[in-house]
Amino acid sequence: MERLYIRDEIKQAAFKCDKNFSCLSGERKDLCKVLSCFDCDVHFVLNQSKTPCPFQSKINERTFCDCPIRIELYRKHKI
């Protein structure tokens, strides 16, 4: 699988990432699946890795993701 390019300013905004940007490796094994989105800014996801993520929170039993990289991957690549 190919490595994905994300602009540096988006990576810098994701400074809380504790997975060393593994979602950009091309393997995507712990990339959360987007279940739905609203206006391409609000993303509800299924946490694939089942480990805590600093970018996720719960809203009415649904997991909300505000990771700048995850949002850009969905916007740009529909991944």
pLDDT tens digits for range 23-43: 887 776 778 888 888 777 667
Nearest to 69 by CA among 25, 7, 18, 26: 7
For the stretch 14-26, pLDDT in tens is: 999 988 888 887 7
Helical segments of the chain, H only: 8-13, 68-77
| pLDDT higher than threshold 90 for residue 13 | yes
Q: Residue 2 — pLDDT band, cuts 50, 70, 90?
A: low
| pLDDT higher than threshold 80 for residue 53 | yes
pTM of structure? 0.81
